[in-house]
Amino acid sequence: MDPDLRIALRVRRLSLPYGAMPTLSVPSASAARAADSAWRAGTALLCTPADPGEGPHLGEHWPRLPLPLNAFSRLWGRCHQLPLPLFARSPAYRLYSKLCNCNLDEADFNDLREFRNLSEFFRRSLKPEVRPICPAARIVSPADGTVLHFGRVASGHVEQVKGVTYTLQGFLGPDPLGDNGSSECSTSPMDRKLQDSEYHDHLKQNPENELYHCVIYLSPGDYHRFHSSVDWTVHKRRHFPGHLLSVAPRIAGMIRGLFCINERAVYMGSWRHGFFSYTAVGPTNVGSISVFKDEELRTNRGGAGFQDRIFPEGSFVAGKGELFGEFNLGSTVVLLFEAPKSYRFSLRTGQKILVGQSLGTE
């Protein structure tokens, strides 16, 4: 079985070395920042250098302490939903904005005191005019964030950051185009028979096309809502409960298959050139993912395997730039799509990008 798929479907509990346990404190701007740093540092200890020339990998030889990442995220989420006193709201949100470089001038509100808790503040909407959608682009950025990686998918392997890969099969699961329903582990005949390159070709509707990917990281200070990148029809959602490791760029560069381990909601369908998938990945301290046209999605509740939902034909159609969903803090969006061989990205790794800006040209 594909190693990334085995990790994604069977890993039920992650461990950290003794001493890596962070301290939970009262939710505030400084506490949120400190907790995020602690979790990134703790997560980094999961990795040890591999052979020279290779990337790091999940360490197996540390003295380990079971660490309930998902439970911590659920607790942190409840803290975010605690009402703040009216007098404390404005100074608390302004402090957070200063620490995390939030641009409040773009937010659509009259008074900061309108946000009853941190969760509402994180999920604030923007003024419509501040994120124009590029009319000429076929594919636009789904979120405000940092471009982690992009490019052509080679033989079923995708780079999450330069030099650190995962497989399509580990990320999307077995037979993503079929009606699997749910699975505690991989039992699909396709999973046993198809090699990575065959899996890659199986996704394409036109053999003359290529598969491409783009990964965008949303930091805690970014706008936390995400939008549709193209005009497309969603056929299926596959939810992997997974775990909730940090998806910060530094961690993504250390853990092979990170996006196959973390909780994620994968939306698959078709657009003008064929296959299109849109994945929201949940990180530590957040976990909660909401998709507005999929009210049945429930995240950060634990479990194993995956659960599928098939949408009736034509019931889930998203337009380019349309609001798609929201995170409760920073996270990551992964696009995987089919396009002609002539498609070229107009991006650079590490650049900041905004909702509605073009990703490339055909």
Instruction: Say whether pLDDT at 110 is over 80.
Output: yes
What are 180's two structure tokens?
């699997």
Instruction: Say whether pLDDT at 112 is over 90.
Output: yes
Average pLDDT over residues 37-65: 38
Residue of 119, 186, 246, 331 marked catalytic: 331
Task: Locate the domains of the chain by residue range.
Answer: 1-362
185-194 pLDDT per residue, tens:
333 334 444 6
Q: Which of 289-293, 300-304, 334-338 has the lowest mean pLDDT?
A: 300-304
| Rounded Cα–Cα distance for residues 170 and 110 (Å) | 45
Whether 196 is catalytic is: no
Mean pLDDT: which of 8-12, 156-160, 231-235 is highest?
231-235
| Rounded Cα–Cα distance for residues 258 and 262 (Å) | 6
Whether 227 is catalytic is: yes
| Rounded Cα–Cα distance for residues 306 and 241 (Å) | 7
- For residue 243, count other CB atoms closer than 10 A to its CB: 24
State the pLDDT at residue 56.
Answer: 40
Residue of 36, 144, 196, 308 marked catalytic: 144
Whether 331 is catalytic is: yes
State the pLDDT at residue 226.
Answer: 96
State the pLDDT at residue 170.
Answer: 87
Give the confidence band of 154 by pLDDT, cuts at 50, 70, 90: confident
State the pLDDT at residue 18.
Answer: 30
Q: Which residue has the higher pLDDT, 14 or 333?
A: 333
Question: Can you say whether the dihedral through the CA atoms of 130, 150, 335, 80 is positive or negative?
Answer: negative
Give the confidence band of 128 by pLDDT, cuts at 50, 70, 90: confident
Residue of 227, 239, 243, 273 marked catalytic: 227
Residues 6+ apart with CB under 8 A from 298: none
Q: What is the mean pLDDT of the chain?
A: 77
